[in-house]
């Protein structure tokens, strides 16, 4: 009979949050500073997700173009976590910059305001990237991930949709920190994170004591998408990552017997 599972600890940046004050990572105690959404005029809808709707907008006080992410009803602690993480990462290499936190004066609906990036849709962009382009943008994404990991934070949803690229200016930003979390050694985390075709093996086998390496697996999937100019979701086989991983695991175990 197997013994108890040993505690898990990341090989890098394991003790970042242990060495910081509780105020740094205790997002539930964080009190966001909410400003007035009337300072921003919505221009057009850019997209929507499970937790938000995203709009291009103009700051009417200075004519700055911004992006406004209007949050759908979720638990307050989830909103606090995203804001706390974005504030902690503000100014970080290739991290999307949080400009403001606002609420609608009538509905009190919260929204996050970000810098605007002139993004090219990845389905179009990946088709024309050169070998040098791929290496350049992967390096820029690695810079962003190394920075957030060095700050004790896992992104947990790295995918093409969350990597904005202004190809003309060769500028990259890692966005959507709604699933990000502070890393603490041996802590059990929710495995219902990341997107289907970018999930690390830990998530596929419900292993909860994962760490920053989860983001590196997702980055590897992105790299493959760029090199082979394929969207994983367009796979003709339609086999789920779970079934493929289970088959591989069974093959390895059979071979080792």
Q: Which CATH class is domain 24-115?
A: alpha beta
Residue 4 has what pLDDT? 41
pTM recorded for the entire structure: 0.89
Residue partners of 138: CB distance under 8 A and separation at least 6: 219, 222, 223, 226
Domains 24-115 and 122-250 fall in the same CATH topology: no
CB 165 within 8 A of CB 156: no
Give residue limits of the domains in the chain: 24-115, 122-250
Which is catalytic among the residues 157, 176, 211, 215? 157
The whole-number pLDDT of residue 3 equals: 41
The pLDDT of residue 2 is 40
* Per-residue pLDDT tens listing for the chain (257 residues): 344 445 679 999 999 999 999 999 999 999 999 999 999 999 999 998 888 999 999 999 999 999 999 999 999 999 999 999 999 999 999 999 999 999 998 999 999 999 999 999 999 999 999 999 999 999 999 999 999 999 999 999 999 999 999 999 999 999 999 999 999 999 999 999 999 999 999 999 999 999 999 999 999 999 999 999 887 766 545 555 555 555 555 554 455 55
Q: For residues 151 and 215, give the distance between their C-alpha atoms in angstroms, rounded to a whole number.
A: 14
| pLDDT score for 252 | 47
Residue 69 labelled as part of a binding site? yes
- Rounded distance between C-alpha atoms, residue 55 and residue 95, angstroms: 19
**Torsion sign over Cα 213, 211, 162, 165:** negative
pLDDT for 253: 47
Q: CA 145 to CA 95: how far, in whole Å?
A: 9
CATH architecture of 122-250: Orthogonal Bundle (1.10)
**Does the annotation count 104 as an active-site position?**
no
């Amino acid at each position: 009979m197997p013994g108890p599972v040993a505690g898990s600890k990341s090989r890098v940046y394991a003790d970042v949050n242990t060495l910081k004050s509780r105020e740094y990572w205790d997002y539930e105690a964080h009190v966001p500073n909410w400003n007035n959404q009337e300072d921003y005029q919505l221009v057009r809808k850019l997209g929507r997700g499970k937790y938000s709707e995203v709009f291009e907008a103009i700051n009417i006080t200075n004519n700055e173009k911004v992006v406004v992410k209007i949050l759908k009803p979720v638990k307050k602690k989830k909103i606090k976590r995203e804001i706390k993480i974005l504030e902690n990462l503000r100014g970080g290499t290739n991290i999307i910059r949080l400009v403001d936190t606002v609420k609608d004066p009538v509905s009190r609906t919260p929204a996050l305001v970000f810098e605007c990036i002139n993004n090219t849709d990845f389905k179009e962009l990946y088709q024309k990237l050169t070998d040098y382009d791929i290496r350049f943008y992967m390096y820029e994404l690695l810079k962003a991930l190394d920075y957030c990991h060095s700050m004790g934070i896992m992104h947990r949803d790295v995918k093409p949709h969350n990597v904005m690229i202004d190809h003309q200016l060769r500028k990259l930003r890692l966005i959507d920190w709604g699933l990000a979390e502070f890393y603490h050694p041996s802590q059990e985390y929710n495995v219902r994170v990341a997107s289907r075709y970018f999930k690390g093996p830990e998530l596929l086998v419900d292993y909860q004591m994962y760490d920053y390496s989860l983001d590196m697996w997702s980055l590897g999937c992105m790299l493959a998408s760029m090199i082979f100019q394929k969207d994983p979701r367009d796979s003709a086989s339609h086999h789920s990552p779970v079934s493929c991983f289970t088959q591989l695991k069974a093959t390895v175990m059979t071979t080792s017997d």
